[in-house]
Amino acid sequence: MNTAGSVARFVALALAGGLVFAFFWALPPSAELQRTAPCRPLAPRVEDRPAPDFEARDLAGHPVRLSDLRGKFVVLNFWATWCEPCAQEWPELHRLAERLRDRDDVVVVALSVDEKVEDVHRFLERMSLTDTPVQVWWSNEQPIHRTYGSPKLPDTYFIDPSGRIRHVYVNVRDWGRAEAARCVASMADRTG
């Protein structure tokens, strides 16, 4: 048997094996990039940490907790009526919730940090948003948004059904666009 031919075949097989290994090693990151592609235009900060639970009130005054939504994909937006960027973003949140209205596995929550709940009611009336599919919550008891790591408003967090923060969006986003709804739907499908 030709030794040079055997060595050449061995080298060729080793190189081929290395290429196959490299290809399969590169698949998981590529697949992850593909799965998160719908959200890239919104420029999220990707995270993987537990979402701090909290208690707030709905607009009827009933106590609500983030953990009450466990099992659903939650889009949690922190806002205030005195925050001009928040006021610009609010109609977009409404449109996002409208686009996702048929999905029972996705909830859009807008948590106001205003001092008085009356300010929230007046804001929604002024904006013609009293009949919105967004769950509007309110709390002035604690700086809940700061427990999430940001003193800024508006901030939006994507929380998966197991209660983990997956994406963070600091500042205003155009949530009303079809692309934003595709982003939320793809994340809900992937984590649900």
Q: Which long-range contacts (CB under 8 A, 24 or more apart) does 66-70 make?
A: 66/109, 66/159, 66/163, 67/163, 69/107, 69/109, 69/159, 70/161, 70/162, 70/163
More confident of the two residues 13 and 96? 96
pLDDT bracket for residue 191 (50, 70, 90) = confident
The confidence score (pLDDT) of residue 46 equals 93
CA angle 141, 96, 133 (to 5 degrees): 60
Token pair of 28 as six digits:
């998981």
Helix axes 3-36, 178-191, angle to 10 degrees: 120
Query: How long, in residues, is the chain?
Result: 192
The string of pLDDT tens digits covering residues 56-102 is: 999 999 999 999 999 999 999 999 999 999 999 999 999 999 999 99
Residue with tokens 């537990």: 50
CA 162 to mean position of chain CA atoms: 13
Token pair of 158 as six digits:
């994507």
**pTM tops 0.85:** no
CATH number for the region 43-191 comes to 3.40.30.10
CB 49 within 8 A of CB 139: no
DSSP 89-116: HHHHHHHHHHHTTT-TTEEEEEEE--S-
Q: Is the pLDDT of residue 13 over 80?
A: no
Q: How far, in Å, CA of 73 to CA of 186, rounded?
A: 11
